[in-house]
Chains A and B, each alone.
Chain A
Amino acid sequence: MNIQNKDSQTSVVTDLLELVAANAAQVRDEIRAALPATCVCLDLDLSELTFLDSSGLGTLISLHKTMRSRNGTVRLLKPAPNVQQILELTRLHRVFEIVNG
């Protein structure tokens, strides 16, 4: 996993391979720790994510709540079809802005 601050307001997380029970809490905590106080736009690049389970969904929700508390947003970039399917199945596609392509 790699966290980059594009600018003072935007952070991008890349190289997320799996987001599952085994690493969900750790990923959440690392991202939170790396977020600058000024960040209001968190982009999670899911193009490399092969698998997501309900614990991973919990991490996404947790980050979403963190950003909302500072009037910011979480965007999910380029999720693979199977990941997008899970998001839709759990109706979280209504919560996150999903950016394809």
Chain B
Amino acid sequence: MNDHAPSAVRREFRTLLRLEAVCEFSAVRAATLAVRDWLAGKGLPEADLGAWELALVEAANNAVKYAGAEARQRPVTIEISCGERDVEARIIDHTAGFDWPTEVDLPDVDSESGRGLFLIKSLVDQVTYLRHAGENVLVLRRARPVSGGEILPDVCQLQNHLAEVETALTDMTAELASSYESLVALFRYSSELGAHTDLKDFSHRLLKDLMQIAEADCAVLRLISHDGKKLETLLVLPGEANKSLPSVALVGAVASVEIGAARDREDIWFGPEEPLGPDDPLCAVMPVGNGICHAFYVANQLVGTATLGRLMADKSFTAAQVNLLHTFIDFLAIQIVNARLLDERTVARVTQRELQIAADIQRSLLPSKIPSCMPFELAAACQSALQVGGDFFDIIPASDGVLLLVIADVMGKGVPAALFAAVLRSTIRSMPQLFDQPGELLATANRTLFPDLSRVDMFVTAQIAFLNPHQQKIITASAGHCPLLVWRRDAPAAVALGQSGFPLGIEPLTRYAQTETPLPPGAAALLYTDGLSESRNAAGEMLGEKGLLRILAWAAAQTSDPQTGKHYLLARLADYCGHEPLTDDQTLILIRHVV
């Protein structure tokens, strides 16, 4: 299929001679004389002729000497290849063969045999002995003298030689010229890379240049789809409006040279002898002529295929042009992969930035210091499982020393959740007249936030607690949030209290019940988010409300200081979770009626 192997930089002109001799000493001797004459005609000097004659005689004699009865029926073959720089001989015999010794030394001076191999090795530059079953090949190579002072080749031979050299030179020049063009082009592309981020535009210009340099009439560039299942068309050149190519599935029934090239990882040539299949999508843009399809890979991953075509059927691409195709497209492949990686990194950076913004918003919403409200003292904590959680709490001092406590969990993450937390915060803060009526406050906040929340399918659970230092009680209302947990000195167990309505954003006209809970001296109350009660241990078991109540009772019994109590609580929670990572935000406000 492909007879366009890249041409050698310098093609050597070699002539060949092949002789078969009957397996007898006299016959092989005659053959070596024939070789000598032939080599003399090639202009080898006398010293070389002598060396070759003796080396061949020794080799051929061995082939005869060690031939068994069967091998004696078969000829000894001598092949000579004479080049400009060396001569190579192959002596093929059918003996059992022998192990070519690693060191070939002269035998004792009195020995009447054993000098053959030594002579061969001394007379040629390179000896290779290939031993096969039933056939052995001895390959001998000897360089020709560099300056052939004695050589007087005939004019015809000289002309042939000259023609060969000229062809080689022309090839070299063409190759150099195209290499230079491609190098210049690639450098130009490299310098433009920073300025051009549009991959399609970049590919378009590169492909157009390639077409021009490689003398192609049309080109198709396809890239593998993101799911890796099909080849999608990026470019069809020349880009006429009516030329559009549908994607082709990598695995499918369509016979396509592009799929074939991608599958077999080799260039596929098509032309008059091997036309495109009737169903090949390329038929639409390359109906006649010939072309080559090259699939390109980066890090062993298919990136796409590039096809160059010519309208003229009888003019196929040369080896140099195919080299150009490879160079350009492999360069493009790297740019494509780089661009894709850049895209992924950009997305990751944007996401990272968004999370950072959200985290900043959320942090700014939390009270910078916890006000006191004697005889009540407070402690609060908010730890996020992810960079930004939906949890939020607020402690708002109002006139007459009262406090409004807010704890909420926005269902959602990122900037939108943080923004809703911010809106909820300011909505509540804007209604100080309703602080002592938490139920009414939640209902109003729900009405205000409902349109925005429902539009984005988000909702918020919240609990609001009104703390009046003069009344030793806490008034709470809950919008789908965790209940208030209370512990008293006179009762060993903590309890969960309060009713709950819909979360904010579910139902515009929800009413929220209020619960008044006395907080006698020594009592502790806990507002929290479900991240606490839904903590899981290594076995995957959830702590639950009851578990949290036990921890609260234990912590409250240990200390009457809310700050210390908070640490006890969090430490116990951490113990429970063990090494399990935090899966949800944990936010709490601990209220203590200090004695």
Contact = CB atoms under 8 A, between A and B. Distances in A.
Q: Does A associate with B in a complex?
A: yes
A21 B54 CA distance: 12
Interface stretch (B10-18, B110-118, B200-208, B239-247): B110-118
A54 to B, nearest CB: 4
B58 A53 contact: yes
B93 interface: no
* Most chain B beta-carbon contacts within 10 A, residue among A53, A59, A65, A85: A53
Nearest to B64: A21
A1 interface: no
Interface string A85-101: 11001111011000000
Contacts of A85: 50
B119 to A, nearest CB: 6
A73 B109 CA distance: 15
Interface residues of A, number: 23
B109 A20 contact: no
A55 interface: yes
Contacts of A22: 24-26, 29
A65 B29 contact: no
A20 B113 contact: no
Nearest to A51: B53
A41 B461 CA distance: 128
A89 B47 CA distance: 14
8 contacts: A21-B29, A51-B54, A54-B61, A58-B112, A58-B115, A61-B111, A90-B118, A91-B109
A14 interface: no
A8 to B, nearest CB: 27
B115 A90 contact: yes
Interface string B65-92: 1000000000000000000000000000
A61 B58 contact: no
A82 interface: yes
Contacts of A94: 109
Given A22-B29, A91-B109, A57 B50 contact: no
A50 B439 CA distance: 128
A54 B58 contact: yes
B106 interface: yes
Given A20-B57, A22-B25, A91-B106, A82 B115 contact: no
* Most chain A beta-carbon contacts within 10 A, residue among B58, B109, B115: B115
Nearest to A22: B25
A90 B106 contact: yes
Given A21-B64, A51-B54, 11 more contacts: A18-B29, A21-B25, A22-B26, A51-B53, A53-B61, A54-B61, A54-B116, A54-B119, A55-B61, A89-B119, A90-B115
Contacts of A20: 25, 29, 57, 61
Given A20-B25, A21-B25, A53-B58, A82 B50 contact: yes
B454 interface: no
Interface in B444-480: none
Contacts of A10: none
A62 interface: yes
Contacts of A92: 109
A90 B119 CA distance: 8
Contact of B109 (A18, A53, A82, A95): A95
